[in-house]
Amino acid sequence: IYKDNGAANFACLRHMASNMVRAEPTKISLVAKQKRCLMNPSFLEKVLAAGIPAMVEK
């Protein structure tokens, strides 16, 4: 993270991940969605499925 463009690259990845979590339509908090993704691979698949089309639209 500390060399060259590492910090900017990780910031971009974090931003993309948070946008994917926001795109998922379940009405729970972002932190709860992140925890649910950590513990439940099927929910992670739902987040990825909702997030990728949302990123392509932009």
5-57 pLDDT, tens digit per residue, is 999 999 999 999 999 999 999 999 999 999 999 999 999 999 999 888 877 76
How many Cβ atoms sit within 10 Å of the Cβ of residue 22?
A: 14
**What CA–CA distances, in Å, run from 45 to 5, 6, 8, 51?**
29, 27, 26, 10
User: Do 54 and 15 touch, CB atoms closer than 8 A?
Assistant: no
**AA letter at 50:** A
Please give the pLDDT value at position 45: 93
pTM more than 0.85: no
Please give the pLDDT value at position 1: 75
- State the burial class of residue 37 (Cβ atoms within 10 Å of its Cβ: 0-12, 13-18, 19+): buried
